[in-house]
Amino acid sequence: MPAACIILVTHAAEGVGPITVTALAHGGHTVYAALNCRRWRDRAQAQRLRDSAIEHGLDIRIVDMKPESSDSVSKAVGEIVHTSGQIDILVQGGVPSMVGPTEAFAPEQASKTLGRYLVGAQRTLRAVLPHMREAHAGLIIWVLGTAAGGGTAPYLGWYCAIQSGLEALAVQYARDLVPFGIESALVMSGMFGTLSSPFQRPELPADQTTSAAYSRRLGLQFQQRIQNAADELSCAEEIPGATAGAVAMIVETPAGQRPFRTIVDPVKDGADVVFLVLDRVRAEMMRRLGCGDLLDVCYRERRSDEGVTPETLRNAEANDDGV
């Protein structure tokens, strides 16, 4: 990658999105923050990012992108390529915060969230990848939750399903893109971090009748008990900005040397153990199928506490409060 890259960050108003945008911009990159400017919360976040860019002299650009719409995604990507000539790096993020009894989420509600995050990722990739394939270069960074493989809490059925789906999609894309010189990296963020927790402003089930049935059996305060326990697990050891710092570290690492999976999880929910085994099993099957050449830039092991420099973390943390 060149010293200064053109980077697109999706779901830039959610979770670690804002701090990731500023951390990358502090690295001297041009960062496009994709937000749905029709939503009040996204518009407010867009203004905070603009203010931060002016205050710190950063190249942060807001792009209106609705992940539920193929037309909106294609238009946003087209505008970026027209203005900047290319997209070097795509940071695919987002926090699907569905919390409640799994049964109580109406099919239409689940379908809408799947469309925003899982299918939304496919829309974005289909818009971005033709440009990267033509350039025979690029980097896709997936910011996911450790709930895709680690220990999880009750009432997170749909959250875990979407995270698991995205993780599987990321792994398959990583293999598919190797022949085109496009690298992939997964940053797995602990489920209970303040910025990445599904319990922050959760989407509740639409079917209140079914939800009430679970509350009568488990107690009205069951969900609150889960959230309180999660907060206690995370508050003592959480490192603000660690996920954004990991993304920045991957961007700055030379091509061909980047870790495939980086786990940032102070709570230690076991995802590091699970994915260590899972990645090896997947790689072994690829070799048995005669496709080991597709692993060349896929699987490079690195612990979550390696490679993230104190300076990177300090820069990310310094902008957390302002963004």
Q: Which domains does the chain have, with CATH numbers?
A: 6-318 (3.40.50.720)
Closest of 195, 186, 183 to residue 135, by C-alpha: 183
DSSP assignments along 82-107, one per residue:
HHHS---EEEE-----B-S-GGGS-H
Say what the pLDDT of residue 220 is. 77
Judged against a pLDDT cut of 70, whether residue 110 lies above it is answered with yes
Model pLDDT, residue 308:
42
List 143's β-bridge partners, or say none. Answer: 187
pLDDT tens digit sequence for 181-192: 999 999 998 865
pLDDT score at 133: 97
For residue 321, what pLDDT is reported? 47
- Integer Rg of the chain from CA: 19
Q: What is the pLDDT of residues 130-185, one digit of tens each?
A: 999 999 999 999 999 988 888 888 999 999 999 999 999 999 999 999 999 999 99
**Encoding tokens for residue 30?**
């041009």
Query: What does residue 93 show for φ and ψ, rounded to 5 degrees?
Result: -130, -150
* pLDDT > 80? residue 262: yes
- Residue partners of 244: CB distance under 8 A and separation at least 6: 16, 19, 20, 22, 23, 24, 316
pLDDT digits (tens, 9 = 90+) for 17-73: 999 999 999 999 999 999 998 889 899 999 999 999 999 999 999 999 999 999 999
Which has the closest alpha carbon to 146: 185, 184, 188? 188
Percentage of the chain exceeding pLDDT 90: 64
Closest CA to 101 of 214, 265, 230: 214
Residue 234: in which H helix or E strand, if any? helix 222-235
Whose tokens are 């700055």? That residue is: 252
**Phi and psi for 83 in degrees, rounded to 5?**
-80, -45
> How many angstroms separate the CA atoms of 159 and 199, rounded?
10
Q: Helix, strand, coil % (nearest 5) of the chain?
A: 50, 15, 35
At 316, the pLDDT band (50, 70, 90 cuts) reads very low
How does pLDDT run across 221-257, given as a tens digit for each residue? 888 888 788 777 765 445 558 889 999 999 999 998 9
Average pLDDT, the chain: 87
Which neighbouring-strand residues pair with 89? 7, 139
CA nearest to 198, candidates 190, 188, 206, 209 = 190
Of the candidates 140, 86, 172, 174, the residue with the CA atom closest to the CA atom of residue 251: 140
What's the pLDDT at 298?
A: 60
